[in-house]
Amino acid sequence: QVQLVESGGGLVEAGGSLRLSCATSGSTISSRTVGWFRQAPGKAREFVAAIMKTWTVYTTYTKDSVRGRFTISRDDAKNTVYLQMNVLKPEDTAVYYCALQVGGRGSYLAETSYDYWGQGTQVTVSS
């Protein structure tokens, strides 16, 4: 059974930092795309970042509004993906989810391209 478990969320003041972790069990993340999405209260879930590996090359994609502040990375040996979030803003407040693409089809931007999801971790940024 594939499981993704997010951790690292919490309450932080604006300008602060958090590092989210997504630990995967039951499936290897090696050569697969892992994404981070978030859902703010009253809003649809949205893409934040994704990381994929083709042969030995890692490629990352980041939502425009967080580029330069958020960094996605992965440790395949630990089967874990990270989201380093710096200079946090109140508008970053949301539940953050990680997701694993096993089928290898579809855009990294689309929720429907991912096969497994974590339960989410709350990030709250106070002003």
pLDDT of residue 28: 86
Q: What is the mean pLDDT of the chain?
A: 94
Identify which of 37, 22, 123 has the alpha carbon closest to the alpha carbon of residue 79.
22
Residues 57-85: what's their mean pLDDT?
A: 95
Q: How many helices (H) and strands (E) does the chain have?
A: 0, 11
Alpha-carbon distance of 113 to 12, in angstroms, equals 31
- Each residue's pLDDT tens digit, 9-43: 999 999 999 999 999 998 888 889 999 999 999 99
What sign has the CA pseudo-torsion 21, 23, 29, 34?
negative
Given a cut of 80, is residue 107 above it in pLDDT? yes
Q: How far is CA 41 from CA 94, 95, 96, in A?
A: 7, 8, 12
- Return the C-alpha torsion angle 71, 64, 107, 84, nearest 10: 10
